[in-house]
Homo-oligomer: A and B are copies of this chain.
Amino acid sequence: MKRVSIKDIARQAGVVPSTVSFVLNGKAKEMRISDEVANKVRAVAEETGYEPNRTAVSLRTGRTKILGLIVEDISNVFFAKLAKIIEDEAYAMGYKILYCSTENDKEKGCELVKMLLHQQVEGFLITPAAGMEREISRLVELNKPVVMMDRYFPGMNIPSVLVDNYGGVKEGMEHLLNKGYRKIAFITVDLNQIQMQQRETAYVETMKAYGIPEEEQVVLKLPYKSNAANAVDRISEFIKEHQDLEAIFFPTNYLGVYGLESIKNLGLSIPGDLAIVCFDDHDIFRLYTPGITIIKQPIEEIATTAIHLLTNQLEDKQQAEELYIFKKPSLVLRGST
């Protein structure tokens, strides 16, 4: 059951191996090989079920057609969906994907980069953990194309595909404000992460644009790693303290879930007592909340843009013109708000 090689085909077709290689790589015309010979070779390759040995091709050409994808955590739905789409697009273009997860651990992230490098991957798609700057700039020095997703390091000059966090929150806020809501709270997390900061800025500025000064805005910041029970308690308390609240904006889906539980515990109805807008969808919303408005992450756009950006660099060796590409989330109304 030995694999057939280019040599076997050459022997059977009565030509030399190089001829077989040219024919099978579509260079028959270029090399002025007669149709007769070319067809013979193709026929033999066909009937023997020949498949080139990719390892040998890689060694010879220096290309592996393998891309490395480093996400934060493959078991998280957002990244899993991202990975799936990237995988599909990559396969369609003849690339394979090697995945792994940093778990937001700088050390592990750097390890993985090294590992993928040994693995001879040709390019990298990364949602970087903080602290991976050095390792990533090393990749650039090694002339390996890199595209970042969802996060970025300002000033590092690496093409990045990002969610338009500011624009998304602005749109959601305008939706509420245009409906006449004024007392809108923003319940966020105390995390020094660029995405979350952009979202908060958008809240503050959109409110201001509608004539509500910062002093009258209502922001609650929960500690980063607070557990479900604590978060629900804090939010419930907060809602009770602010009896005049008309709406709440949650800048991330987990907060939204906690919020829903608080609202349910307090016996309030949506959107009767409170209107809710949440950045980023969650399965739970589908079932339990006819009156919630979602700002849906543009996962598909991010994935396809990123993979194409990367393969373009690989094929033409040219950089993207735009360094930071922002994808706008879309507003989804589930029932009335």
Contacts and interface: CB of A to CB of B under 8 A. Distances in A.
A123 to B, nearest CB: 16
A21 to B, nearest CB: 16
A228 B283 CA distance: 12
Interface residues of A, number: 44
A74 B64 contact: no
B59 A87 contact: no
A142 interface: yes
A288 interface: yes
A317 interface: no
Contacts of A73: 84
B120 A100 contact: no
Interface in A41-84: 51-56, 58-59, 64, 73-77, 80-81, 83-84
B119 A96 contact: yes
Contacts of A83: 74-75, 99
Nearest to A141: B1
A91 interface: yes
A97 B99 contact: yes
B118 A54 contact: yes
Contacts of A74: 74, 80, 83-84, 87
Interface string A110-145: 000001011110000000000000000000011100
A115 to B, nearest CB: 7
B119 A101 contact: no
A333 interface: no
Contacts of A118: 51-52, 54
Contact of A87 (B77, B100, B142, B143): B100
A269 to B, nearest CB: 14
**Chain A interface, >50% SS class:** helix
A205 to B, nearest CB: 33
Contact of A59 (B59, B99, B283): B59
A56 B59 contact: yes
A82 to B, nearest CB: 9
Nearest to A117: B51
A209 interface: no
A292 to B, nearest CB: 14
Interface in A254-277: 257, 260-261
Interface string A263-301: 000000000000000000001101110000000000000
A74 to B, nearest CB: 5
A98 interface: yes
Given A53-B120, A56-B59, A75 B84 contact: yes
A113 to B, nearest CB: 13
A298 to B, nearest CB: 16
Interface of A: 1, 51-56, 58-59, 64, 73-77, 80-81, 83-84, 87, 91, 96-101, 115, 117-120, 141-143, 228, 257, 260-261, 283-284, 286-288
8 contacts: A51-B118, A55-B55, A80-B80, A84-B101, A87-B101, A96-B115, A257-B287, A283-B283
